[in-house]
Amino acid sequence: MQQKQINRLKVVLVEKGRTNKWLAEELKKNETTVSRWCTNEVQPSLDTLMQIANLLNIDIKELLNSSI
């Protein structure tokens, strides 16, 4: 069964020219944790998503896939 792609973190990082490593350093998180967010293996908390949106200077909605 295919995993549902909830967040767009990987795509947004590429669009902004940033890396998982950069995000991990900015958030003081383990690179493996950020990688798991990017592959939608696990999801960051809402607070963390807000921090990410602030770091990338985007609306939090840009980090989420809309459900159809």
CATH number of 19's domain:
1.10.260.40
Q: Minimum mean pLDDT among 2-6, 18-22, 27-31, 39-43: which range?
A: 2-6
The Cα 47–Cα 68 span in angstroms is: 24
Total domain count, the chain? 1
Residue 3 covered by a domain: no
- CA dist., res. 9 & res. 28, Å (int): 17
Q: Which domain holds residue 44?
A: 9-63
16 within some domain: yes
Q: Kindly state whether residue 1 falls inside one of the protein's structural domains.
A: no
Q: How far apart are the first and last CA of the chain?
A: 19
d(CA 28, CA 38): 16
Which tens digit of pLDDT belongs to each residue from 28-60?
999 999 999 999 999 999 999 999 999 999 999
68 burial (CB, 10 Å; 0-12 / 13-18 / 19+) is exposed
